[in-house]
Structure 1
């Protein structure tokens, strides 16, 4: 089941030219492959999710635009707490390929239609941050057409 629901709060590091209508975070989860979130320049960039409830994510699915891929990326998680601040812990690193396909990898090169499997979590998380430390774009821009986090409620 996709853990991203209409109640999930999404925050992104930046939006290209601050044009949220055309490149905003809402396009990550709108179901259209014709719209996208496009970050502004500079690395790192990130997508932060607050699921609003304890969850146990298992798989992340991402579709980038080739040439604007987060080549070195990490997933961070934070336990359910009463405030939106608190320590994140690293859950995994992954290294997507510079292609236009639904993909993700963990510790190896991604292949078309692979999905990123998170290691089993000891405890549920409420917040997740996907950090793109390096981009295939010279200016550090990231473009994502699709984001899903699959798993179950805790």
Structure 2
């Protein structure tokens, strides 16, 4: 049964934070289950989020909730083993909406690190706003 792979030991990084204001718009707000808090990127194309898991995982689903008007349009999920190079797993194309969206992943490899790349945005300036991000799957042995 697939469950959330994000835990307290999962390390995350983001490409940017709006005005470097991590107290108000930092990456932690994607994972806090608070519907009113969010990660807000600065402007510019190709914003990204990386996740490094404490052990290898097999990903089966990506769930993301944007703010409408600030969603990714062309996106890709990349992954790699602990010391490997990132390789594309899937391309995905979210709707420009504020609803929670789900993207199933067929035959995902076992990875230690994931990178979600928002190649462009519905926003004219390239900003991305994410209220919720979750990765479902199972821990690999």
TM-score after normalising by structure 2: 0.96
Alpha-carbon distance in 2 for matches of 1:134, 1:80: 28
Residues 91 and 119 in structure 1, CA contact (< 8 A), matched pair in contact too: no
- The alpha carbon displacement at 1:80 in A equals 2.5
Correspondence for 2:15: 13
CA distance in 2, matches of 1:96, 1:32: 21
Contact 1:80 1:124 (8 Å CA) reproduced? no
The total of aligned residue pairs comes to: 138
- Alignment match, 2:95: 97
**Matched residue of 1:138: which SS?**
coil
Equivalent residues in 2 for 1:120-131, closer than 5 Å: 120-121=107-108, 123-131=109-117
CA distance in 1, matches of 2:110, 2:139: 8
Q: Which among 134, 140, 144 is matched to residue 126 of structure 2?
A: 140
Q: Given the two structures, how large is their TM-score scaled by the length of structure 1?
A: 0.88
SS in 1 for 2:19: helix
Q: Which residue of 2 aligns with 1:111?
A: none
The CA distance in 1 between the partners of 2:78 and 2:121, in whole Å, is 18
- Which residue number in structure 2 is paired with residue 45 of structure 1? 47
Distance apart, 1:77 and its partner CA: 0.3
Listed as ranges, the gaps of 5+ residues in structure 1 are: 104-114
Deviation of 1:79 (Å): 1.0
Partner residue in 2 for 1:32: 34
For the aligned residue pairs, the C-alpha RMSD in angstroms reads 0.8
Gaps of 5+ in 2: none
State the 4+ residue runs in structure 1 displaced beyond 2 angstroms: none
